[in-house]
Amino acid sequence: MVDADIKEKLDTVEEYLINMGPQHPSTHGVLRLVVNLRGEIVKDLKPYCGYIHRGIEKMCERNTYPQIIHLTDRLDYLSAHINNEAVCLLVEGALDVEVPERAKYIRTIMAELTRLASHQLWWSVMGMDLGALTTFFYGLRDREHILDIFEENCGTRLLVSYNCPGGVMYDIKPDFQKKVKEFITYFKTKLPEYEKLLSGNVIFQQRTKGTGLLTKEEVIAYGVTGPSGRGSGFACDVRKKNPYSAYDKVQFNEIIRTEGDSLARYKVRMDEMRESMSIIEQLIDNIPEGDFATKMKPIIKLPIGEYYQRVEACRGEFGVYVESRGEKNPYRIKFRSPNFANLSALDYMSRNEKIADLVAIMSSLDLVIPDIDR
Amino acid sequence: MWLYDFAELTSKIHAGLAGSLGEGLLTTTIEMSLVGIVFLTFYAVLGLFLVYMERKVCAFFQCRLGPNRVGIFGLLQTIADFIKLLMKELITVKSADQFLFNVAPFIVIIASMLAMGALPFAKGLQAMDFDIGILYVMATSSLGVLGILLAGWSSNNKYSLIGAMRSGAQIVSYELSVGLSLMTIVVLAGTMQFSEIIAGQESAWFIFRGHVPAFIAFIVFIVASTAETNRGPFDLAEAESELTAGFHTEYSGIKFALFFLSEFMNMFLVCAIAATVFFGGWMPLHVPGLAGFNHVMDFIPPVVWFFGKTFTLIFLMMWFKWTFPRLRIDQLLTLEWKFLLPISLVNILIMALCVLNHWYF
Amino acid sequence: MNAIAEYFSDLFGGIKSLLQGMSVTGKYFIRSPKEIVTQQYPDNRDTLKMFDRFKGEVMMLHNDKNEHRCTGCGICEMNCPNGSIEVISKWEIIDEKKKKALDKHIYHLGMCTFCGLCVKTCPSKALDFGQAFEHAKYNRTEFNKILNKPGSVLTKDVKE
């Protein structure tokens, strides 16, 4: 079913509609795009989301605060730790609970490892979408090391619910620091290979340079945050603006580029991987001793009011808004998902681009569809 | 000296048949059907082997094992795949143009089989030895584009049509570069007949004899023929991540198997032509002046040389495919018209100059 | 003149970058037997050991005397977000006092999201995660497991 307005704007002699349907190898998830093409040029684009809507916000209304956490990691599953951290920070901030230093350090290290893993997956998929199929395997092979670290410490590889209000659920294992340091040494030898294989390749550069332009005003107007926004010059890193957990104790650069095309977004993410590694290196040897969680009451009730907490997820600013009426369940919870805002800019970015570039643009935006549909 | 001349074997068979059945239509028919059966078997076995090779080579590039369950080292995997494809339902698309839809895969196969008939596998082991061999091979391999265009058009499907149009533009453009680079060697060799070309490489292969222009011609030929066969970084006609499966979206079962097979056989064909024209075909590696070395090289049978060179070039093409991202259609056409074509034109002039002044080995 | 120089520098720069990319994949091909990272799963079951925190399934710990630690308090059932645990308790007469004891601890493996709240909030540490992960069955009713084996309660526990 295509909306009537897209059909009436169609010039049936010169243009035709193509449906990049819910099942498609290059829309990463179930997203339907109805694209209005004239020859090879995209004239108009309309995304239809909602194919994976599970009613997470409604489900959270009947759950208590510790029970919401396992649902948040099913939103943007590649930044599961960070989503969990958002809800925990909201509860701790509302109740004015002091989290021990050790827990803050552990949370930050896990968040940066998640960011690394997510960017590795993004790199693999970007190469695969553009046709270089070996990048998929190289990126995933290296990501397995991080997932092994997660499995050993948190229990599961991807959908960890490791954070809980007050700290983390278990203490880290004794060889956590050693394994993380080994991984960083290993990955530092692999990043130059990634650059040689994809970034330096003349074919890749020609396919991504100058396509999918997004100016800074448009970025601010659409609310595009994260690496996609920083690729157009918008300094929006929540870790710098409102530091949380242990981010105020580390030195790192906020990567900003001004060109605004797909290649700029690509380079921002590659440099962010390096910054993540430097953050982890600064923290990994200095984890303070102490408790890994403060004791919270068994039933957590937030005082009456509205609360908002924002964190820097791998794809942008992830926000949690809670309206509480004094009970143990939130009255209304809303997740500000970064991918929803990033998707809304896709139409603007892909006007007058060729359909082959549309695939490159979508990969450079790094969309995760379950986050859009919640 | 292993340079056994297969012409003796074929003339003995011919003499035997003519002696018992007389020189007439019956003898010719029997000989032709023998050649046909040999070729069909060769085609099928080679297709199976090439698919297996592709999967294993691709797996080793990607740090994983390839097929290793069906048979030792997965050797029977392709047979299992083809049995599966044979058993699939042939979905008839009601709104497609039935005759063209069914004919398209066969045109592609026939084109590549015809071209394969002119390849020299060893001295005298050649089905047809025209005196315009190179021209014949180029002409018949160009018939394949008809099959692709028909497949895309008759599927009555937007995606297939886009894929077929792109592919048609691509193949037609790159034929120019292929032709010009082959002409460069024809200028050096002085003949278009395959057996003469190979005989001319007895002292050294053309890529060494024709130094710089031959090397440039080789590079141009490899790039252009990768594009001709819709392979490697030029495979946007069947780009899975963009347009589902391009021009063969609507085909299922044995018809899809024919498209798939013809792609691999075309790859073999162009690598075999490159091996013949640039690297000497079945002629062993001879270095002028080192008679002992040449004698040692002659002990390796010519068929082994031919297949060795061809498979090395096939490996090179697979390496291209699994390393590079895909080119967009306009970049592809830019590459041809602005880079490859001027370079090959200038190259042919340089080669002509070299030949006239005897500046070659 | 500039355009011609740019043409050739583009051409050779492009070729050089392509060759660099090929060197990366070529390196992996040549070193390929060592670089293969595939775990040949069904064949390596003997040597496969999962980490001890791995969340394979929830199970109730029993010691050698077939005793468990569950008092039937139902805190895990209250904390489970989606109702994957049902605790059915019964009244038992011990030392002439009526006490609540566990009859059946039903665990729906098919609904569990492995959030870990039941393990974390159990006051007597009766539940833990097991490392078995091969749960595929032909019949959906086999996913409704009863976690307590026919046994009895250990006396050293926290509440009641």
Report whether A230 contacts C51 (CB < 8 A).
Answer: no
Nearest-Cα distance to chain A for B244, in Å, is 7
Per-residue confidence at A4, pLDDT binned at 50, 70, 90? Answer: low
Question: Which of A2, A41, A199, A203 to probe the B interface (max B CBs under 10 A)?
Answer: A203
**From CA B182, how far away is CA B208, in angstroms rounded?**
16
Nearest-Cα distance to chain C for A119, in Å, is 20
Report whether A362 contacts A346 (CB < 8 A).
Answer: yes
Nearest-Cα distance to chain B for C12, in Å, is 12
Per-residue confidence at B220, pLDDT binned at 50, 70, 90? Answer: very high
DSSP for B184-236 reads HHHHHHS---HHHHHHTTSSS-HHHHTHHHHHHHHHHHHHHHHHHTT-GGG-G
Helix (H) or strand (E) holding C108: strand C97-108
Interface partners of chain A (CB pairs < 8 Å, 3 or more) are: B, C
Q: Please tell me which of the candidates B63, B320, B324 has its beta carbon nearest to residue C28.
A: B63
Stretch A322-329: mean pLDDT, rounded? 89
In chain A, residues 40-99 whose CB comes closer than 8 Å to chain B: 40
The alpha-helical segments, DSSP class H, found in chain C are 2-30, 32-35, 75-79, 117-121
Pull the structure tokens for residue A307. 């609360």
Question: What pLDDT sits at residue B241?
Answer: 47
Question: What pLDDT sits at residue B349?
Answer: 92
Contacts of B321 in chain C (CB under 8 A): none
Nearest-Cα distance to chain B for C90, in Å, is 54
Contacts of A139 in chain C (CB under 8 A): none
Selection from A321, A317, A357 nearest residue A337 by Cα: A317
Amino acid at C117: L
Interchain pair C21, A67: CB under 8 A: no
Interchain pair A169, C115: CB under 8 A: no
Contacts of B63 in chain A (CB under 8 A): 137-138, 141
What confidence tens digit (pLDDT) does each residue in B79-124 have?
888 888 888 887 777 887 788 888 888 898 888 888 888 888 877 7
Q: Which residues of A touch C (CB under 8 A)?
A: 63, 66-67, 69-71, 134, 141, 144, 151-156, 159, 161, 164, 169-170, 173, 193, 196-198, 200-203, 298
Question: Which of B323, B324, B332, B341 to probe the C interface (max C CBs under 10 A)?
Answer: B323
What ipTM goes with this model? 0.84
Question: What pLDDT sits at residue C126?
Answer: 84
Stretch A49-69: mean pLDDT, rounded? 88
DSSP for A77-98 reads GGGHHHHHHHHHHHHHHHHTPP
Interchain pair C25, B319: CB under 8 A: yes
Question: What pLDDT sits at residue B102?
Answer: 85
Q: Is pLDDT above 90 for B10?
A: no
Tell me whether C44 touches chain A (CB under 8 Å): no
Helix (H) or strand (E) holding B14: helix B6-21
The DSSP secondary-structure symbol of B138 reads: H
What confidence tens digit (pLDDT) does each residue in A136-147 have?
888 888 899 999
Question: What pLDDT sits at residue A116?
Answer: 92
Residue percentage of chain B with pLDDT more than 90: 8
Nearest-Cα distance to chain A for C64, in Å, is 26
Interchain pair A130, B244: CB under 8 A: no
**From CA A198, how far away is CA A202, in angstroms rounded?**
9
Instruction: Please provide the distance, in angstroms rounded to a whole number, between the alpha carbons at the two ends of chain A.
Output: 22
Q: HEC string of C72-91?
A: CCCHHHHHCCCCCEEEEEEE
Contacts of B61 in chain C (CB under 8 A): 25, 28-29, 32
Per-residue confidence at A221, pLDDT binned at 50, 70, 90? Answer: very high
Tell me whether B324 touches chain C (CB under 8 Å): yes
Report whether C29 contacts B318 (CB < 8 A).
Answer: no
Per-residue confidence at A120, pLDDT binned at 50, 70, 90? Answer: very high
Q: Is pLDDT above 80 for C155?
A: no
Q: Is pLDDT above 80 for A262?
A: yes
Stretch A226-239: mean pLDDT, rounded? 88
Pull the structure tokens for residue B54. 């592709």
What confidence tens digit (pLDDT) does each residue in B283-296 have?
888 777 777 777 77
**From CA C119, how far away is CA A91, in angstroms rounded?**
21
Question: What pLDDT sits at residue B29?
Answer: 85
E strand map for chain A: 16-20, 32-38, 41-48, 163-164, 167-168, 305-313, 316-324, 332-336
Tell me whether B57 touches chain C (CB under 8 Å): yes
Stretch A74-91: mean pLDDT, rounded? 90
Neighbours of A117 (CB within 10 A): 27
Question: Which of C38, C39, C41 to probe the B interface (max B CBs under 10 A)?
Answer: C38
Residue of A nearest to B157 (CA): A18
Contacts of B235 in chain A (CB under 8 A): 131
Pairing of strands A167-168, A32-38: unpaired
Report whether A67 contacts C79 (CB < 8 A).
Answer: yes
Interchain pair B241, A129: CB under 8 A: yes
Tell me whether B88 touches chain A (CB under 8 Å): no
Tell me whether C53 touches chain A (CB under 8 Å): yes
- C105-142: buried (b, 16+ CB within 10 Å) or exposed (e) per residue? bbbebeebbbbbbbbbebebebbebeeeeeeeeeeeee
**HSE-up (13 A, CA, CB side) for residue B91:** 10
Contacts of A138 in chain B (CB under 8 A): 62-63
Nearest-Cα distance to chain B for A35, in Å, is 13
Q: Which residues of C touch B (CB under 8 A)?
A: 11, 18, 21-22, 24-26, 28-29, 32, 35-38, 40
Pull the structure tokens for residue B116. 């394969």
Residue of A nearest to C119 (CA): A169
Report whether A318 contacts A225 (CB < 8 A).
Answer: no
Pairing of strands C152-153, C67-68: parallel
Contacts of A153 in chain C (CB under 8 A): 53
DSSP for A45-76 reads EEEE--TT---HHHHHTTS-HHHHHHHHTTTS
Report whether A364 contacts A266 (CB < 8 A).
Answer: yes
Q: Is pLDDT above 90 for B153?
A: no
Stretch C73-95: mean pLDDT, rounded? 84
Q: Is pLDDT above 90 for A321?
A: yes
What confidence tens digit (pLDDT) does each residue in B124-139 have?
777 777 888 888 888 8
Nearest-Cα distance to chain A for B257, in Å, is 22
Residue of B nearest to C7 (CA): B339
Q: Is pLDDT above 80 for A124?
A: yes
Tell me whether A205 touches chain B (CB under 8 Å): no
Q: Please tell me which of the candidates A16, A25, A207 has its beta carbon nearest to residue B325.
A: A207
Tell me whether B55 touches chain A (CB under 8 Å): no
Return the minimum-mean-pLDDT range out of A184-193, B11-20, B345-354, C129-138.
B11-20
Stretch A302-308: mean pLDDT, rounded? 90
The mean of the pLDDT values for chain A is 87
Helix (H) or strand (E) holding B7: helix B6-21
Q: Where do we find the tokens 């930050």?
A: A108
Report whether A225 contacts A216 (CB < 8 A).
Answer: no
Question: What pLDDT sits at residue A118?
Answer: 92
Interchain pair A16, B159: CB under 8 A: no
Tell me whether A2 touches chain B (CB under 8 Å): no
**From CA B136, how far away is CA A268, in angstroms rounded?**
53
What confidence tens digit (pLDDT) does each residue in B292-324 have?
777 777 778 888 888 999 999 999 999 888 888
Question: What pLDDT sits at residue A25?
Answer: 66
The mean of the pLDDT values for chain B is 84
**From CA A197, how far away is CA A191, in angstroms rounded?**
10
Interchain pair B323, C21: CB under 8 A: yes
Stretch A288-312: mean pLDDT, rounded? 88
Radius of gyration for chain A, computed over Cα atoms and rounded to the nearest angstrom: 21
**From CA A197, how far away is CA B231, in angstroms rounded?**
19
Q: Is pLDDT above 90 for A132?
A: no
